[in-house]
Amino acid sequence: MTNACAELVALTEKLAAEHPAPRVFLNEIGRQAAGIRRGPVGFIDLARGGRNIFPGDGVQLELDDQTGGQIRHFAGIVAASVRVSAPLTRWLSINIGRDGTHTPDGRLTDLATEFSSGVLAGEIAVPDAPAWIRSRLCG
């Protein structure tokens, strides 16, 4: 399997340089790492679960459900958080997506909503986002 988490870090390094505005940066993560298109059509992509652009592993053990789709999950949750808010995204993931809070997907959802909220609030600067992902998501 490829190290999908390392691929996400490389992508976010590129995106941070190209798109310093937090909202644009986060939307681009969703688009380029999970196939979540811009605009209203992105809601269709989210409902379908996006696309697994970076299949593989590389996430921390407690976040790994052995499917090879954890980067898609993380990026999709980031994209959803920008569109409908982190709290609503988390609620939808738990109650509609059935991602229990103590499962790898539930923990990944919490991490992704923490990340997107932090970037939007300025607590995680866009240039620091790749290092945050490397230290918090990658194994």
The tens digit of pLDDT for each residue in 65-86 reads 999 999 999 999 999 999 999 9
State how far the Cα of 52 lies from the Cα of 61, in Å rounded to an integer. Answer: 19
State how far the Cα of 51 lies from the Cα of 69, in Å rounded to an integer. Answer: 9
Task: Tell me how crowded residue 11 is: count the other CB atoms within 10 A of its CB.
Answer: 20
Cβ(83)–Cβ(30) under 8 Å?
no
pLDDT in tens, 35-69: 999 999 999 999 999 999 999 999 999 999 999 99
Helix axes 4-18, 129-136, angle to 10 degrees: 160
Handedness of CA 54, 74, 70, 135 (dihedral sign): positive
* Total-model pTM: 0.96
Which pLDDT score, from 0 to 100, does residue 99 have?
A: 87
Which pLDDT score, from 0 to 100, does residue 1 have?
A: 67
Which pLDDT score, from 0 to 100, does residue 2 have?
A: 86
Instruction: Give the burial class of 78: count Cβ atoms within 10 A of its Cβ; 0-12 exposed, 13-18 middle, 19 or more buried.
Output: buried
Which pLDDT score, from 0 to 100, does residue 75 have?
A: 98
For the residues 116-126, what does the mean pLDDT come to?
98
Closest CA to 4 of 63, 46, 45: 63
Which pLDDT score, from 0 to 100, does residue 112 have?
A: 98
Report whether pLDDT(125) > 90.
yes
Which pLDDT score, from 0 to 100, does residue 74 have?
A: 98
The pLDDT mean for the chain works out to: 96
| Token couple for 106 | 């539930």
Which pLDDT score, from 0 to 100, does residue 109 have?
A: 97
Residue with the bigger pLDDT between 99 and 108: it is 108
For 39: left if phi > 0, alpha if psi spans -120 to 50, otherwise beta; the answer is left
